[in-house]
């Protein structure tokens, strides 16, 4: 029995976090496969700067969040593989984005709470409209991922072979960057920019430890993402502590359990 369903805020939180958990885990599977986890983390911080900047201009924080995250995703794709694999360069961009966000907050503090919620998330505080937006964006991301799934698998595993077979690798990079940016943008208000890895990396990394097959791995990652969202909310409702804290802790525990199982399996073999 799911606790708290008699309350509207719990239904909205379960809807939004479940949808985001599935989309982020599916997209995150390819993020880890393509070794772009640090770049994905940087996108969330860039989105925070966009949200804070929009508040300074008197605009919606969500508008700035989506605009900055999508623009950064496009820039990352156009920069090419060499830049994406340079942790120092990405780390400097991440640092600059955080500093810019703090500057915007210092310039306009009246609605600073709206931007600060982007850092830590507000799962149980989202509205019905935000829950529907999360569901629509997550469904769109999953649909887009399904459309490019087969060539994306080849381009992620062996981009040189993909080029020889006529796969438009650069276009795929751009499309995947847009999917990743949209997923990050819709997840940040729920889980927070600082804890985005809980959905984006935890379930995919666990799924890859449990199975090496791509198709079953993506599906398992999505199931783990949804389960993580529901378990985190239920633990928060029953025990206390913020839901984001529970989700992050359970994601870490899931990763450790999956890695332990893989080590035991390999030892037995």
Residue by residue, pLDDT tens for the chain (269 residues) are 566 677 788 888 889 889 999 999 999 999 998 888 877 878 888 887 887 788 778 777 778 888 888 888 887 777 655 544 556 667 677 777 777 777 777 776 655 566 566 667 778 778 888 888 889 999 999 999 999 999 999 988 888 888 888 888 888 888 998 898 889 888 888 887 777 888 999 999 999 999 888 989 999 999 999 999 999 888 888 887 888 888 989 999 999 999 988 888 888 87
Note the pLDDT of residue 36. 81
The fraction of the chain above a pLDDT of 70, given in percent, is: 88
DSSP the chain: --TTTTSHHHHHHHHHHHHHHHHHHHHHHHHHHTT-HHHHHHHHHHHHHHHHHHHHTTS-HHHHHHHHHHHHHHHHHHH-HHHHT-HHHHHHHHHHHHHHHHHHHHH--TTHHHHHHHHH--GGG--HHHHHHHHHHHHHHHHHHHHTHHHHHHHHH-HHHHHHTT--HHHHHHHHHHHHHHHHHHHHHHH-GGGTHHHHTHHHHHHHHH---HHHHHHHHHHHHHHHHHHHHHHHHHH-S-HHHHHHHHHHHHHHHHHHHHHHHHHH-
Homologous superfamily of the 8-194 domain (CATH) = ABC transporter involved in vitamin B12 uptake, BtuC (1.10.3470.10)
pLDDT digits (tens, 9 = 90+) for 114-144: 656 666 777 877 888 888 888 999 999 999 9
Q: What is the pTM of this model?
A: 0.86
Note the pLDDT of residue 222. 95
Sketch the domain layout of the chain as residue ranges: 8-194
């Amino acid at each position: 029995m799911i606790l708290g369903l008699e309350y509207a805020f719990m239904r909205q939180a379960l809807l939004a976090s479940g949808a985001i958990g599935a989309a982020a885990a599916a997209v995150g599977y390819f993020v880890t496969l393509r070794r772009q986890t640090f770049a994905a983390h940087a996108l969330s911080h860039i989105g925070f700067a966009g949200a804070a900047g929009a508040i300074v201009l008197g605009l919606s924080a969500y508008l700035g969040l989506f605009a900055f995250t999508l623009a950064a995703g496009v820039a990352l794709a156009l920069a090419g593989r060499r830049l994406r694999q340079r942790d120092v360069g990405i780390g400097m961009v991440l640092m600059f984005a955080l500093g810019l966000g703090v500057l915007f907050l210092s310039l306009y503090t009246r609605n600073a709470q709206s931007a600060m919620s982007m850092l830590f998330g507000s799962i149980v505080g989202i509205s019905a409209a935000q829950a529907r937006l999360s569901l629509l964006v997550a469904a769109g991301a999953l649909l887009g991922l399904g459309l490019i799934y087969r060539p994306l698998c080849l381009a992620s595993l062996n981009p040189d072979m993909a080029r020889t077979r006529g796969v438009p690798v650069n276009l795929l990079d751009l499309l995947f960057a847009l999917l990743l940016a949209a997923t990050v943008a819709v997840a940040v208000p729920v889980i927070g920019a600082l804890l985005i890895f809980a959905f984006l990396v935890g379930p995919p990394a666990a799924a890859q430890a449990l199975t090496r097959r791509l198709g079953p791995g993506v599906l398992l990652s999505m199931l783990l993402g949804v389960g993580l969202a529901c378990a985190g909310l239920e633990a928060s409702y029953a025990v206390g502590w913020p839901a984001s804290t529970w989700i992050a802790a359970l994601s870490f525990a899931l990763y450790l359990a999956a890695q332990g199982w893989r080590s035991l399996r390999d030892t037995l073999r």
